[in-house]
Amino acid sequence: MASTLREEEQAAVLRVIHSIPRGKVAAYGQVAELAGLPGRARWVGRLLSQLPAGSTVPWFRVINASGRLSFAPGSIDYQRQRQHLEREGVVFDGETIRLKLFRWNP
DNA sequence: GTGGAGGCATTAA
DNA sequence: ATTAATGCCTCCA
């Protein structure tokens, strides 16, 4: 068995993110919890930040708990994430997403 | 190899 | 808007 505990956790997180449907979003903390890692929202963020460029992981569907992107508005990363989301139907109210409508509830 | 300090794509109060 | 609580990582001494 070559897999470390850490790799298992990483796989669990990525699996959860992959299951977020188009047009929906989930918070870092929500993803962590669904992956069986309660309280590790920050760790999820760190994981995504280290994701390789060519990754197929829909990282852009993960936002913070207040319904906003965790990038500085106007930054390249912010615009990229926002465009991805709007393209699949997510509507922004200013800089905030209406979680009532777009939050993923499994 | 160990330990402390600082930095985050976090969250809740 | 601030702050405290959290988990993990990187950088030195």
pLDDT in tens, A87-97: 999 999 999 99
User: Which one has a higher pLDDT value, A17 or A54?
Assistant: A17
- The answer to whether A70 and A63 are in contact (CB under 8 A) is yes
Neighbours of A37 (CB within 10 A): 17
Predicted local distance difference test score (pLDDT) of residue A31: 98
Task: Indicate if CB(A43) is under 7 A from strand C.
Answer: yes
Q: Distance from residue A49 (CA) to nucleotide C13 (C1'), in Å?
A: 29
| Contacts (Cβ under 8 Å, ≥6 apart) of A72 | A78
Q: Smallest Cα–Cα separation from A51: which of A86, A17, A22, A84?
A: A17
Q: Is the pLDDT of residue A2 over 60?
A: no
* Predicted local confidence at residue A93, as pLDDT: 95
What mean pLDDT is predicted for residues A23-29?
A: 98
CB of A22 within 7 Å of some strand C atom: no
CA distance A49 to A81: 13
Q: Which nucleotide is nearest to A50 (CA to C1')?
A: B9
Share of chain A above pLDDT 70, in %: 97
A25 pLDDT exceeds 90? yes
Does the nearest atom of strand B lie within 7 Å of A62's Cβ? yes
